[in-house]
Structure formats: C-alpha cells, structure tokens
Structure 1
Amino acid sequence: MTRLFTRVALAAMAFMALAHGAQAQDAVGIDQKVNEIFAGATGWFVNGIFSPIPGTSFPWIVGWLVAAATIFTIYFGFIQFRAFPHSIALVKGDYSDPNDAGEVSHFQALATALSGTVGLGNIAGVAVAVGIGGPGATFWMILAGLLGMASKFTECTLAVKYRNEYPDGTVSGGPMYYMVKGFAERSLPGGKFLAVMFSIFCILGSLGGGNMFQSNQAHQALTGVLGEYPGWITGVIFAVIVFVVIVGGLKSIASVTEKVVPLMAVIYVGTALIILIMNANMIGWAFGQIFAGAFTGLGVAGGFVGALIQGFKRAAFSNEAGVGSAAIAHSAVRTKEPITEGFVSLLEPFIDTVVICTMTALVIIITQQLMVDEATGLYMLNEAGTAIATVDGNTGVSLTAAAFGATFSWFPTVLAIAVILFAFSTMISWSYYGLKAWTFLFGEGKAKELTFKIIFCLFVVIGAAASLGPVIDFSDAAIFAMAVVNIFGLYFLMPVVKRELASYQSRLKSGEIRKFTE
C-alpha cells in the first residue's frame, strides 16, 4: 500500500512540474493536431450511429433504445416497480447463501457496477444534456432511467444464467457468453457472430466512453483549478498510473478506490442535497421548468425533440442500460438463482439516473435562476422571461463545477478531486470490460493481454488531448453500437428470462425460497 501511494505522489509531483512548465502555444499545437486527426478518423462511425430516421431529425439509435426499454418493461409486467422491495431485500443479503457459486455478494456486484457508471456521466453528462437540451432534458433522463431498469434486469439475469464457472471459484460472463450459449440452447443461429460483434464494439466502448471521455473531463476539471496547460500532460500521467494498476496493482488499487470513490460520491450527493435544502422554495419551480421544457420549446437545440434526444442520450451514457457492459460485472455475483441478480441490477439505473442525475440537474437549473443577473451567469432569460440554458464557455464538468461553485466557492476544487477519482475508477472498470472482450476474440495469454493494456493507455492520452466534441461523439457512438448488438440478442433470449422469473416467483410465493436467515 505504501508503494502505491508513493507512486501516486511521485506521479502527482511530476504532473505539477510538467503542467506549470509547459507553454500555452505548445498546448494549442499538439492538442489541435490530435483533435483534428481523431475527429477525421472517427467521423464516419459517429455519423452512422447517430444518423436520423429518414424524414426526421430523430436518431435511429435513440429510438432503438427507447423501444427496447419499453418492450422489456411491458413484457415483464413493469417488473422494475413490482420487484423493487424484493430487490432491496436481496441487496441487504436477506436471501444470500455464502455457499453459492460466484465471487462477490449482491451488494458488492451492485457496487462494482455502479463504480463504473456513477461518475462523470452524472457530473458532466447531465450538464451537457441541460446545456444543450434545456431543463426539459431532465424529464427524459428520468423516464429513460425508469424504463432502462427493465433492460438492465433482462441482460444481467442472462449474464448469470449463462456464465462460465471455473474450478478455482472464478467466473466469466456477459453478453458474449449468453449470446453464444443462449442461442445454442434455443437452437438459434448467429450467436457466435453477435458475440464477436459485441466484443468489437465493447473494445471500442472501453476506449471511448470508458477511457477517453474520462481522461478528457478529468483534464477539464484540473484546468479549472490549475489553469490552462496541454491536455497530453494529463493524459500521460493518467496513462502511467492506469498502466501500473491494470498490469500489476489492480487489487491494491481497488482496495483504495472502493473506499475513496464511495466517499466522494457521498460528498457530491451530500453537497447537492445541502444546496437543494438551502433553496427548497425553488425546487417546485425547478420541476416546473423540467416538465415545461420536456414538451415545449425551452430546449436550446430543437425544443421538444432536442430535450428528448439529449435526455435519452445522456441517460443511456450514464447508466448503460441495454449496453451490456454492466452485465460483465454482475455476472460474478454469488448466487444459484440468476433472476436474483436481475432484481438487484434494476436498482442501478434508478440510483444512477433517477436519483443522482436528477439532483445534479436540479442544482444546475436552480443555480441558473440565482445567477441570472450575474455577468458570468450560466443561463439567461429569453424574451418570454423563461430561463433557458447557455453554456457561456462552460461545457461538461465545467458547467457543473460553476453551478455548485455559485453556492460553495470551494466546491470546484473538491469536484476536481471527485472527477479524478471517478474517472480513475471508471477507466479501471472499463479496462476490465474491454480486456474481457479482447480475450474473448483473441484468446488468453499475457502477451495478448499486455497488447490491449498498452492500446488502452495510449487512448488515455488521446482522450485528454482531444476536444470535448469529438470525444463525446465517439464515446456515445461506441457505447450505443454495443447496445445495437446486445439488445438484438436480448429480444431472442427474453423468453428465457420470463421462464426464470415465473419459476422464481412461484417458488418464492409457495415458501420454497426463504430468507437465508430464517
């Protein structure tokens, strides 16, 4: 542990020396070149994923996600609401048998998955949604979170049912496995092809949303505290630390981040609660702005459609419902009943999007009203006297930092620390997701694993040096591409989940399944 902190401290000192020693003109030159190359190389991919439905401005991928979440919600009889109390009981460990196969408890599986989703999507993603789509984007984020609970329930049940269990007690699971094994069980063709496609997109997703977006926003947070300096410096330092972690120090780092990251989450949510309590008289007004903006022209980019698109896009990026990534983490749970992890996993979008994202949005919306008369206000009033969003030079995490900083001047510094920790934990989680996909495609082996880890760290540098626009576009495209394949597979396998659900509920009702403590 001492070695770990020594390495981090040395990296931090090196970072400070480089940051203050670099010249601004160097930053513009290198960062701009990296950005131009990156944007040019990925533009075709982004355009393909987000191309609109013919005759509309509505991206087909958003409709794909909305339709799937709605279908799963109806097909399973609004399971996310019916099973909510039982989900809480499972997380508490009421039905947990320590002798079941698996590596972690229900709570630990949920916490692990949340460590990869609660973070910059909640901090920066919400700011992007509100900044572009207006307050109304929050309504669609909440709705997407509620519907997404059913998608998460479906994929995580399958991840446990079709996982590989090894003699040493470890397990491997996720969409790659339930596509191959589930399709074979149902005598359906194409399972292997879907698994390969998902693995390819998972690798891209790990390099994009799970990597570049994280380092990009971490750099933005640091510049807010230290001043402007080249993005590649942040990238290099982060890459070195991440490489040390994923090559040889994963367990020791995880033992630190599993304590520190939840602490920062509590500080972040706690600060938001304090701001909301201090402005309790404005909460009703803020929700009024959210509902009005959801169905009218309050959105800055496209009114109703702009708010809807931004809300669903950012919600999907934040909670990853339907993407399949979290299913890899949930598959390691210790249970003999696959459906139980489906119940537990549906809590994830609720905590991530419905609770934390909504709190962030409320703080930003309320702050805009309080800062209307400020020269550097986050928002302004339109001709009708209604508050609308203006980024005013603040994008992503900077907008959230400015909003919280309006109440607590010290908060941007705390947020910068939180962003670094969140970004770090998310990169670690996604390096694991990407590595699992990589080894599924190319097989196990130290040389093959090392190749992926080096590639992953190179993209840490690219993400920090590129501008927010190309990074966030590529991140969305890569992650949503995973959802295209995953949801297609879920449609064919959801009858399996329904049988598991019926069997479990029948045995639970008859008393065959009891609390383990009874």
Structure 2
Amino acid sequence: MEIDRIIDAAVEPVSSAVSSVIFYSVPLLGLEIKLVLVWLVVAALFFTAYFGFVNVRCLVHGVNVLRGKFDDHTTDGQINRFQALMTSLSGTVGLGNIAGVAVAISVGGPGAAFWMAVMGILGMSTKFIEVTLGVKYRQHGSKRHPEAISGGPMYYLRAAFDQLHKPRLGRFMAGIFALCCIGGTIGAGGLFQANQAYQQALVVTGGENGFLAERGWLFGVFMALLVGLVIIGGIKWIAAVASSIVPVMAITYIMASFVVIGVHYAAIPEAIQTIFEMALYPEAGIGALMGALLMGVQRATFSNEAGLGSSAIAHSAVKTDVPVSQGMVGMLGPFIDTVVICMVTALVIVISGAYVEGGGIEGVELTSRAFASGISWFPYVLSVTVFLFAYSTMISWSYYGLKCATYLFGEYDIVENIYKVFFCIFIVIGSATQLSNIILFTDSMVFAMAIPNIIGLYMLAPEIKKDLRTYLQNIKLK
C-alpha cells in the first residue's frame, strides 16, 4: 500500500492539471457544466439535423444491413459486420450500464434516465459519421501483414487537414488523438476494469476474510492471461470472442432485469410515468430539470462513447467496400447500449423503488439493491456480469490502443508485442493497487479524444452527406 501512495502522490499534480483542463466546467443555475460534454452534445445535435435524422429514418435499414441483406463477402476486410458491432459494443457495454445508470438516478432523479435515452438516440448520428469515415479512410499499413487493416480518427484526421493543404497540422491532431487513446486504453480499459472486476470478485468470495483478500495480484495475473490469450491473435480473435461474449452477457443481464420487472409488474405504469414527469415537469423546477438533463447526458456519454472515435477503429476492419453501409450498423451501438440496456437498468431501479432508500451518490450498490428486491442471489449474477463486462471491455480497448501505437511507431511486430505486454502488465497493476489519480488521468485522456475527433467530423461532414445521399439513392434503385 505504501507503493500505491507513493505512485498516487507523484501522479496527483499532473492528473489534477490535466483533468482540470479536460473536465473544465462553468456554473449555471447552481450546477457545474463540463464543457467537454457540451462539445459532445452540440456535435450530436448538429449531426442529427445535418444528416436529416439518419438515426431515426435509417434505423430499420441498419438492422437489415447487420443481418447481411446487402453483403458482398468478396470485399476487402478482416471481420464481418456482426463481429465489428460486437467488438465495438464490448468496449461500451460495461460498468456504465450497471453503475452509471445508478449514479445518474441517485443524483439527477428518475428523470435522468429519460435524458440518457435521448442522448443515446442523438449519439447514433455521431457514431454514424465516425464509423463511416473510419471505413472510408482505412489503410493496409503493414508490409509484413498486407491483409491487416488500420483505421480510425488518426487516418481521417490526416485526410481532413490534407484537403486544406495543412498536412503538418493533420499529423499533429492525429498524433494527439493517438497519444490520448493509448493513455485511455491502458487506464480506463486496463487499470480501471481490472480493479472493478477484482473488487466485485472480492465481495462474493468472502470480502476481507476471503481467499482473494490481499491477493489482487493473483486475480490480475489470471485476468491478464485470459486477455493475453485473445489479443495475441489480433482483431480476428478479439472479434470472435466479443461476438460470443457480448450477446450472452447482454441477454443474461436483460433476462435478470425482466425477472425483477415481472416481480413488480403492478408498478410498471407508475414507474414509467415517474420517469417522464421528473424528466419534463420536475416538482423542484428548472434547476431539477437541468440537473436531470445534465446527469443523463453525462452518463450516456460515458456509456456509449459516441464522439470519442474509438468505435471507428474496430469498425474499420469490416468486410465492405461501402463505408456508409457500415455507418448504418455502427449507429446501432448507442441504441443497444444506451436506449435498450441502460433503460432496462433504469426501469429496474425505479420500479423497485430502491433509489428512494439511498442517501447521496450511489453506483453499483444501488443497482444490486434494486435487483435483490426480485432476486436475492443477484450479487452472484452481478459478479459474473461485471467480470464479463470488464473482460470484454479490456480486449476491445486493447485493440484501440494497439492501432494507435502502430500508427505512432510503425506497423511492426515488435511494436505490437511490446504494447500487448505493457497492456497485460497494467491489468495486474490495476487489480493489485488503488491508483485513483492514474485512473483520473486516463479518464481525462479518453475524453480528450473527443476534441480532435469531432473537429475532424465537422470538417468531413459535407463529403459524408454526399456519400449518404448517393447510398440511399442506390438502395432505392435495387
């Protein structure tokens, strides 16, 4: 523990400085509004309007594309559409769906759940353009492995500034994104996920008197081995595992939720009415409305990552020669993550009345208490779910960081291997230590990705609008 404190103390000044910039906030109606969230919300609103509500009018079409209705299996790529979506979802469907919703409701009231769903729907438009651009500007960068594909904001940021004849600025912006992504993946994708998975495993194995007490390193080694076995095989192995794990964990979680909802079925109408009333007509006035809105937006952004650019890296490896078609699939991610899974969690919490018993900010403990009202043994289900969520997040985020590392240092096997080893080492560290300031720093890095990424999205939006128009015309002709 002494080593923990030394490292934490050393990182604290840097962590505080970076987070104060990235999460800079301004007071409004007695609330602190983070400007990075405003940046993300404005982008989501703009792209929704700019692309003519593509998130709504093309939702069913996106499902049909995912089903393979328009596929040509001879096209370039490494993974199919379903695997690409599951890899992306494995990075977003996680603790935010369990603890994040609880935090939103405990702070902003049940109305926050409504605004989470609204932000999830708007975020679909942002996800559409970043995934489309990821596929459009992807590259085969490795001479030793010509079949390997690299894509993401690093590449379309360079393209955007090349069009303005400012290649140096483009390389700088792409480099900033890549550095932030590497920092974020190691911390938020490795340290934090391993730490939370260990904490939940500790609870169900007896706590401080259990086998895992003071053995976080052992749990970390176990997790690192499981992650290492998958990421060593690259995107094909990651996609294969993600496409197996994500549906199972999502269905298991939703089924458990339906059991609780079924137990309290008589309270369903009142719960839905409460969510809508407290979202739109809160008794405490405009301040309460703003509180619910801001908390819902913040937790939705934390959950679905629309605007951060991370999903574009995974979707870039898909088998297609029509970028817009994968954008249609990509925008299903926020819908599944935030509109479906988060709303199921919210309904369980509100319908059980568990949020009324709380005192202040609550996370996973609120969700656990809500589920326990219908399933007494839910903590065990929760521990398995948290483990799977954390594991799937680690393998997908490791790939995001890997692609950014090879972008910066070259598409060489030695670069890939060094990155993978470092990522696994940080999983062990995350399980064995409590490095709050490092995690705060890496969280800042994750949200810093949104700044250069959204700049690139704005710059390239006109050409994607033309591509979308052409795509929809071609679909009508078929």
TM (norm. structure 2) is 0.88
**Residue by residue, what CA displacement relative to the aligned partner does 1:319-344 show, whole Å, maximum 9, x if unpaired?**
11111000011111111111101111
**C-alpha distance in structure 1 between counterparts of 2:416 and 2:314, whole Å:** 19
**Aligned pairs for 1:452-471 within 5 A:** 452-465=419-432
Report the CA distance between 1:58 and its aligned residue: 1.1
- Alpha-carbon RMSD: 2.8
1:324 and 2:291 equivalent?
Answer: no
- Of 45, 59, 82, 2:18 maps to 45
1:218 and 2:203 equivalent?
Answer: no
Contact 1:220 1:398 in 2 (8 A): no
Q: 1:307 to 1:36 in 2, by over 3 A?
A: farther
1:402 and 2:377 equivalent?
Answer: no
Report the CA distance between 1:196 and its aligned residue: 0.6
Report the CA distance between 1:186 and its aligned residue: 5.3
**Aligned pairs for 1:72-151 within 5 A:** 72-151=47-126
Report the CA distance between 1:67 and its aligned residue: 0.3
Report the CA distance between 1:152 and its aligned residue: 0.3
1:282 and 2:259 equivalent?
Answer: no
Report the CA distance between 1:310 and its aligned residue: 2.4
Report the CA distance between 1:268 and its aligned residue: 0.7
Give the aligned partner of residue 337 of structure 1: 322
- Of 199, 204, 207, 2:178 maps to 199
**C-alpha distance in structure 1 between counterparts of 2:101 and 2:62, whole Å:** 27
**C-alpha distance in structure 2 between counterparts of 1:232 and 1:45, whole Å:** 29
More divergent stretch after superposition (489-498 vs 395-404): 395-404
Unmatched 5+ stretches in structure 2 = none
Contact 2:178 2:405 in 1 (8 A): yes
Give the aligned partner of residue 384 of structure 1: none
**C-alpha distance in structure 1 between counterparts of 2:439 and 2:129, whole Å:** 27
SS of 1:113 mapped into structure 2: helix
SS of 2:52 mapped into structure 1: coil
Contact 1:34 1:465 in 2 (8 A): no
Report the CA distance between 1:165 and its aligned residue: 3.9
Give the aligned partner of residue 463 of structure 2: 496
SS of 1:477 mapped into structure 2: helix
Contact 1:157 1:341 in 2 (8 A): yes
Q: 1:108 to 1:79 in 2, by over 3 A?
A: same
Q: 1:250 to 1:498 in 2, by over 3 A?
A: closer
**Aligned pairs for 1:39-438 within 5 A:** 39-53=12-26, 57-165=32-140, 168-185=146-163, 187=165, 190-226=169-205, 227-228=207-208, 229-230=213-214, 232-233=216-217, 234-247=219-232, 255=240, 258-295=243-280, 303-367=288-352, 369=353, 379-380=356-357, 389-390=358-359, 395-438=362-405
Report the CA distance between 1:35 and its aligned residue: 5.1
Report the CA distance between 1:404 and its aligned residue: 1.4
**Residue by residue, what CA displacement relative to the aligned partner does 1:301-357 show, whole Å, maximum 9, x if unpaired?**
x74443333222221121111110000111111111111011111111001100000
Report the CA distance between 1:449 and its aligned residue: 2.7
**C-alpha distance in structure 2 between counterparts of 1:110 and 1:160, whole Å:** 13
Equivalent residue letter for 1:43? S
**C-alpha distance in structure 2 between counterparts of 1:431 and 1:95, whole Å:** 30
More divergent stretch after superposition (69-78 vs 446-455): 446-455
**C-alpha distance in structure 2 between counterparts of 1:68 and 1:477, whole Å:** 19
Contact 1:194 1:489 in 2 (8 A): no
Q: 1:248 to 1:152 in 2, by over 3 A?
A: closer
Q: How many aligned residue pairs are there?
A: 464
Equivalent residue letter for 1:169? E
Report the CA distance between 1:252 and its aligned residue: 6.2
Give the aligned partner of residue 449 of structure 1: 416
Report the CA distance between 1:182 and its aligned residue: 3.7
**C-alpha distance in structure 1 between counterparts of 2:319 and 2:239, whole Å:** 19
Equivalent residue letter for 1:322? G
Report the CA distance between 1:106 and its aligned residue: 1.9
**C-alpha distance in structure 2 between counterparts of 1:280 and 1:296, whole Å:** 25
- Of 449, 452, 457, 1:482 maps to 449
**C-alpha distance in structure 1 between counterparts of 2:234 and 2:172, whole Å:** 34
Equivalent residue letter for 1:309? L
SS of 1:57 mapped into structure 2: strand
Contact 2:79 2:239 in 1 (8 A): no
Contact 1:110 1:330 in 2 (8 A): yes
Q: 1:164 to 1:251 in 2, by over 3 A?
A: closer
Q: 1:434 to 1:231 in 2, by over 3 A?
A: farther
Equivalent residue letter for 1:310? M
**C-alpha distance in structure 2 between counterparts of 1:53 and 1:397, whole Å:** 28
**Residue by residue, what CA displacement relative to the aligned partner does 1:469-503 show, whole Å, maximum 9, x if unpaired?**
75764454222111111001111011111010111
Unmatched 5+ stretches in structure 1 = 1-27, 372-377, 381-388
TM (norm. structure 1) is 0.82
**C-alpha distance in structure 1 between counterparts of 2:172 and 2:347, whole Å:** 43
Report the CA distance between 1:48 and its aligned residue: 1.3
Contact 1:379 1:391 in 2 (8 A): no
Give the aligned partner of residue 7 of structure 1: none
SS of 2:48 mapped into structure 1: helix
